Amino acid sequence: MRSLRLGIAAVLVGVAAGCSALGGDDNEPASGTADDLAAALSEHSLGEVPLTDEADRTAYAELVAPLDDVPVAVEVVSVEETEASGDAEASATATLGWSWELTDDAAWEYESTVALLPVESGWEVDWTPAALSQELAEGDTLGLRTLSPQRGEITGAGGVALVTERPVLRYGLDKTKVDGPQVARSARRIAAILDVDVDSYVARAEAMGPEAFVEAVVLREDDARDVLPAFRQVPGALAVRDTLPLAPTREFAAALLGRVGPATAEIVEASEGRILAGDEVGLSGLQARYDEQLRGTPGTAVVARDAEDRLRTIHEVPATDGADLATTLDPALQQKAEQALAGLGADGPASALVAIRPSDGAILATANGAGAAGADLASTGQYAPGSTFKVVSSLALLRAGLTVDDAVDCPATTVVDGRSFKNYDDYPATSVGRITLTEAVAQSCNTAFIGNADRLGRGDLAAAAQALGLGTDHDLGFPVYFGQVPPPETETGAAADLIGQGTVLASPFAMATVAASVSAGRAVLPVLLPEHQVEQTQPEVPLTPQEADTLRGLMRAVVTSGSGRFLLDVPGEVGAKTGTAEYGTPDAAGELATHAWMIATRGDLAVAVFVETGVSGSQTAGPVLEAFLR
């Protein structure tokens, strides 16, 4: 708070320096009364200062009551005393310096004057509302208004607004239109129509005041059209038009972007006064993590209302609007991703799709299907990646000396340390036996990879994963799981790891990164927030151009002659890898459920698709990938 200048305590006019003040030889000067007044005003009252009208003490307390929580410092700037002359009585005028701390970094500072009149015992204050502020007059009341800042937008590629203010309807009950038993009856019907908990809504409606609007739900205008006809028939039902920061659709990157709503009690408590009940804040996702940046800083207005109910602003500290948060999401590709996953059905399994631009690591789309139930599985899911991990295993085996044309054994089953491994159920019989590494990748032969496990030393698989961007954590400015490839503890564990099971885990985001790294010829560090600076941890053994070229050839073979042949007529040169991973506990027939995966590259695009439960990568994840690429 700025320190106010303290002026000369008293300017004596026509009085010798050694004389006493006008109130009498034994009384304090006017400056003393002025000092007492300033001290009392700093406590939001007139204290025990002598007043010409005792009623002013209560009137002042009522006037400043709305500002009781605003710290104020009042100091005496100067006091000028004037002797009686002719018909004019003696008087004094005190100039007061005020500083109201309206916000943490903005004060309302000004000066006012107040008259002091001499009496036999000293001085009395002739208080008027103008002594508080020259903007005030008799009959005025004061108030504070919070000025809400404009929340920053979340933007996508090219600066296109992804989350911006969009129209909504707030549905609820206007209690000024109903009373008595009708409150509960209307609340019950509204809750049933809007599919909210009936008992809690009725209880809230009955508990709130007679002039309250009891909000039930907030809907986008498009979602609200089917609600309106039935809702309008309910006595007291009211739909209030408003805006909220929203994405283009309800599903659009919902888990990643997050949502905005009234601050919870926990958020209010943790804010230490910065956030008040009812404030709109980020509740999840990027909206929550970057809430301070997006929310901005509220302003404050001191307002006065006169006797005729006219409102005017006396002083204003403007709100500071929030700053935009830039992302790399491509609106068109994000919507295509949402649509592709929607093909699995509203009641389908959990699913996710992530798309990355390999050349610069930009994350173009990150979507979760309806089955994810609001979780961000695309970025943080932890699943066995199945045979999509064979891209990593292939790199490790290439580094161990295998070539794409070397022959490897692909039996129908193989046993490692007493555990039997087999190929997937519809593995082509024509590709069993002695085949090349290229064919083993194209057809996804499990037993061929497991049969070459002894070529790898401890840490070789993890190093290959690291070279493709998997298994090394980075803070990208939002929650991400980069996967893990821990050292196997048993021979069967090492065998399972080679085919993306065992202790190997990845997220759809991590497998999209693997595909992007193959395409780019280096370990790609994905970028969602361009302004969030990240220093990449480089792989101990970086991917070489020759290795990347070989991996691209292997992924292309999956499309030209392997399990991804259904993509052959998709425009552009597509490389891919299918994957299936068993999980959970066996069913009554002894069968395990399977995750379905598929990763792909085309031009400057890398994609990963994950479906929690499916038949196979090609049959379940494949159609989703194809729909996205087409």
**What are the DSSP E strand ranges found in 228-294?**
237-246, 260-262, 280-282
Query: In the prediction, which pLDDT does 352 show?
Result: 98
pLDDT at residue 3 tops 80 = no
For tokens 């002659």, the residue is 561
For tokens 């805006």, the residue is 243
Pairwise CA distance, residues 593 & 511, whole Å: 21
**Secondary structure of residue 231 in the 3-state scheme:** helix
**Secondary structure of residue 366 in the 3-state scheme:** strand
Question: pLDDT tens-digit profile of 178-221?
Answer: 999 999 999 999 999 999 999 999 999 999 999 999 999 998 88
**Closest among 91, 152, 177 to 295, alpha carbons compared:** 152
Domain containing residue 38: CATH number: 3.10.450
Query: In the prediction, which pLDDT does 13 show?
Result: 34
Whether 145 is in a domain gets the answer: no
Burial readout 338-376 (b: 16 or more C-beta within 10 A, e: otherwise) = bebbbebeeebbbbbbbbbbbeebbbbbbbbbbbbeeeb
Domain containing residue 493: CATH number: 3.40.710.10
Q: Which comes out higher in pLDDT, residue 469 or 9?
A: 469
Whether 409 is in a domain gets the answer: yes
Query: In the prediction, which pLDDT does 282 show?
Result: 95
**Weakest-pLDDT range from 45-49, 68-72, 228-232, 412-416:** 228-232
Residues 190 and 287 in one domain: yes
DSSP class of 88 = B
**Closest among 86, 38, 90, 43 to 64, alpha carbons compared:** 43
For tokens 């049969």, the residue is 451
Cβ neighbour number for residue 285 with a 10 Å cutoff:
21
Whether 226 is in a domain gets the answer: yes
Are residues 584 and 384 in contact, defined by beta-carbon separation less than 8 angstroms? no
Question: pLDDT tens-digit profile of 401-419?
Answer: 999 999 999 999 999 999 9
Residues 167 and 185 in one domain: yes
Instruction: Determine the straight-line distance between the first and last CA of the chain, rounded to whole angstroms.
Output: 62
Q: Single out the residue in 289, 307, 326 at which a domain terminates.
A: 326
Residues 403 and 548 in one domain: yes
Query: In the prediction, which pLDDT does 587 show?
Result: 84
pLDDT at residue 256 tops 60 = yes
pLDDT at residue 387 tops 50 = yes
DSSP of 507-559, one letter per residue? -HHHHHHHHHHHHHTS----BS-TTS-------SSPPPHHHHHHHHHHHHHHH
What is the rounded average pLDDT of the residues 345-359?
Answer: 95
Domain hosting residue 347, numbered range: 331-629
Report the amino acid identity of residue 442.
A
Question: pLDDT tens-digit profile of 483-523?
Answer: 999 999 999 999 999 999 999 999 999 999 999 999 999 99
Whether 536 is in a domain gets the answer: yes
With pLDDT > 90 as the criterion, what percentage of the chain qualifies?
Answer: 83
Whether 237 is in a domain gets the answer: yes
With pLDDT > 70 as the criterion, what percentage of the chain qualifies?
Answer: 95
Question: pLDDT tens-digit profile of 521-547?
Answer: 999 999 999 999 999 999 999 999 999
**Weakest-pLDDT range from 26-30, 390-394, 465-469, 590-594:** 26-30
Question: pLDDT tens-digit profile of 99-120?
Answer: 999 988 899 999 999 999 999 8
Torsion over CA of 58, 63, 64 and 68, rounded to 10 degrees? 80
Are residues 6 and 75 in contact, defined by beta-carbon separation less than 8 angstroms? yes
Pairwise CA distance, residues 425 & 419, whole Å: 18
Are residues 110 and 98 in contact, defined by beta-carbon separation less than 8 angstroms? yes
Looking at every residue in the chain, the average pLDDT score rounds to 92
Whether 259 is in a domain gets the answer: yes
Cβ neighbours of residue 558 closer than 8 Å, sequence gap 6 or more: 441, 442, 444, 564, 575, 576, 577, 578
DSSP class of 66 = G
Pairwise CA distance, residues 599 & 607, whole Å: 6
Q: Which comes out higher in pLDDT, residue 511 or 224?
A: 511
Torsion over CA of 277, 283, 289 and 295, rounded to 10 degrees? -50
**Weakest-pLDDT range from 216-225, 228-237, 578-587:** 216-225
Tell me the angle at which helices 390-399 and 460-467 cross, rounded to the nearest 10 degrees.
110
Residues 404 and 457 in one domain: yes
Residues 572 and 551 in one domain: yes
Q: Single out the residue in 137, 168, 189 at which a domain terminates.
A: 137
Return the H-helix or E-strand segment holding 62: helix 55-64
Query: In the prediction, which pLDDT does 276 show?
Result: 83
371-374 own/partner pairs: CB under 8 Å, 24+ apart: 371/344, 371/347, 371/612, 372/255, 374/254, 374/255
Residues 187 and 287 in one domain: yes
Pairwise CA distance, residues 279 & 288, whole Å: 13
Report the amino acid identity of residue 198.
V
Are residues 331 and 160 in contact, defined by beta-carbon separation less than 8 angstroms? yes
Are residues 91 and 116 in contact, defined by beta-carbon separation less than 8 angstroms? yes
Which two structure tokens, joined as six digits, stand for 519? 């395409």
What phi and psi values does residue 40 have, to the nearest 5 degrees? -65, -45
Whether 2 is in a domain gets the answer: no
What is the rounded average pLDDT of the residues 604-609?
Answer: 98
Q: Single out the residue in 107, 137, 167 at which a domain terminates.
A: 137
Which two structure tokens, joined as six digits, stand for 25? 């030889």
Whether 549 is in a domain gets the answer: yes
Residues 203 and 340 in one domain: no
The number of residues making up the chain comes to: 630
Question: For the chain, what is the domain count?
Answer: 3
Query: In the prediction, which pLDDT does 27 show?
Result: 61
Residues 340 and 439 in one domain: yes
Residues 335 and 313 in one domain: no
Question: pLDDT tens-digit profile of 6-62?
Answer: 333 333 333 323 333 444 445 678 999 999 999 999 999 999 999 999 999 999 999
Pairwise CA distance, residues 179 & 177, whole Å: 7
**Closest among 463, 471, 545 to 513, alpha carbons compared:** 471
pTM of the model: 0.84
**Closest among 581, 408, 454, 448 to 511, alpha carbons compared:** 581
Query: In the prediction, which pLDDT does 7 show?
Result: 35
Which two structure tokens, joined as six digits, stand for 531? 């302004």
Pairwise CA distance, residues 26 & 29, whole Å: 9
Domain containing residue 215: CATH number: 3.90.1310
Are residues 163 and 254 in contact, defined by beta-carbon separation less than 8 angstroms? no
Pairwise CA distance, residues 37 & 51, whole Å: 10
Are residues 483 and 559 in contact, defined by beta-carbon separation less than 8 angstroms? no
Residues 102 and 208 in one domain: no
Q: What are residue 354's DSSP bridge partners?
A: 366, 608
Residues 43 and 56 in one domain: yes
Residues 259 and 316 in one domain: yes
